[in-house]
Amino acid sequence: MSSVPTSSPPLHRLLAQCADAVQAVRDGHSLTDWLSRCPAELRPGAQALSFTVLRRLGAAQAVRAKLAPKNPPPRVDALLVTAIALLWPGETAYAEHTLVDQTVHAVRQRAANSAGFVNAVLRRFLRERDALVAQVEADPVARYNHPRWWQERLSADWPAQWQGLLDANQQRPPMTLRVNPAHGDAAAYLARLAEAGIAARPAGDLFPQALVLDEPRPVQALPGFDAGHASVQDASAQLAAPLLLGQRRPQDLAPGEDWAVLGAGARVLDACAAPGGKTAHLQELGGNALDLLALDADAKRLERVSQNLGRLSLEGSVRAADARDTAAWWDGRPFDAILLDAPCSASGIVRRHPDVRWLRRPGDIPSLAKIQAELLDALWPLLKPGGRLLYATCSVFKAEGQDQIDAFLQRHGDARSREFTRGAGHLLPLADNAAQEDAPRGAPAVTDGFYYALLQKSPSSAPL
């Protein structure tokens, strides 16, 4: 069931906006960027509908092709596909006749001559829906609502889990908070949420600051949000700061592994920092006493880093630069620790960004892997001997995870990868990959898909 605001604008306007969003994605544009330009009063409803449609886009396009083999004009086609996806079994948030009527209304305002055609197609879909759904689900793109190349790559990387990963991407993700320890622990904030009538639960012992809400809420409804008492951040993303700073529990380390906790004054680089969630988490755990530099190539996105630090009353230097071009920004002082949250396919966060699967192309993965390798090689010399670098991607593709690190270790004899019993390596967004004891039956996985590798530089490595 799609969630839409109770005081929603007319449905035909939302459908038109949703169709425009779908067409923008089909034209290769980011849904996030498009929604940022959507009229404010329409944005919540348009986003809710477009998320549903993009999760069903493969199936809806296949049905439209059967019902209307000749392609309609793009804007009419987008409205047709939008309506079919919203009429899909299990997805209807409105009475069927209302959805059909309002779609036809939207078509009349854009292409009046096509209104009768759209009405006929949608009514035929409702009459023959069960048979059409069964027919198109024989096509893997319609069955899994992911491009075929994506399915093949997942199948090669995760032969036992690939279907589960595709199905997980169709779920709506939980809203997860990170409690700021400067204002109390997670148990205290959980009590504050309960007082505010907001149901939540701990994410599990691997994520001591994380609370999962039963239902998403506007951040303004969260106690103390504007004062920095909590932030919104997926549980997987909350593993980065404690991994880099050495604040994981001893039982999470593999036998024989140990390392010092980084303390006040440690020089830390967040190399691809925007929008700043992990940057802020580093300073939260570092007691706001790290010598922290947040770097990002996108000056506009860096504004979010400064805003996040400011809301949480945290310190840190923020600079716009390409981390690979070290001559342009590095002052020659080596770092104790570096966080490299590298640009990637975002294949691990598809449930939060359902457009990603339709925007990526097969050639993007080797191109992104090349950039990741360039970043690793450029930043490694900036570490002190004995320093550590945490490589992270929000990807489930091995080319951007374990394969990337295996190749790096071959190139750099002064590096080794630290070992953990859990909470590092490839983290898959499946329900059995994190503590779920208190989760409601059928709840989505607590974690998004991520990859983490903590690389240690040899103490005897020659400095620059």
Q: Is there a catalytic annotation at residue 272? A: no
Specify the pairing of strand 335-341 against strand 383-393: parallel
Tell me if 416 sits within 8 A of 409, measured CB to CB. yes
Q: What are phi and psi of 450, to 5 degrees?
A: -145, 165
How many angstroms separate the CA atoms of 144 and 450, rounded?
21
| Other residues' Cβ atoms within 10 Å of the Cβ of residue 137 | 14
Tell me if 46 sits within 8 A of 18, measured CB to CB. yes
Task: For residue 252, give both structure tokens.
Answer: 């999470």
How many angstroms separate the CA atoms of 132 and 130, rounded?
6
Specify the pairing of strand 415-417 against strand 450-457: antiparallel
What is the DSSP annotation of 314-333? ---EEEE--TT-GGGT--SP
Q: In what order do the strands lie in the sheet with 230-232?
A: 200-202, 210-213, 176-179, 230-232
How many angstroms separate the CA atoms of 373 and 158, rounded?
23
Please tell me whether residue 86 adopts helix, strand or coil conformation: helix
How many angstroms separate the CA atoms of 445 and 431, rounded?
4
Q: SS3 string of 41-80?
A: CCHHHHHHHHHHHHHCHHHHHHHHHHHCCCCCCHHHHHHH
| Other residues' Cβ atoms within 10 Å of the Cβ of residue 197 | 8
Is the bond leading into 385 cis (omega within 30 degrees of zero)? no
Tell me if 264 sits within 8 A of 290, measured CB to CB. yes
Indicate which residue of 38, 272, 344, 394 is catalytic: 394
Tell me if 52 sits within 8 A of 2, measured CB to CB. yes
How many angstroms separate the CA atoms of 240 and 65, rounded?
45
Mark residue 28 as left, alpha or beta (left: phi above 0; alpha: psi -120 to 50; beta: remaining): left
Tell me if 364 sits within 8 A of 311, measured CB to CB. no
Task: For residue 331, give both structure tokens.
Answer: 């002052």
Q: At what angle do helices 115-127 and 74-86 cross, to 10 degrees?
A: 30
Show which residues are catalytic: 394
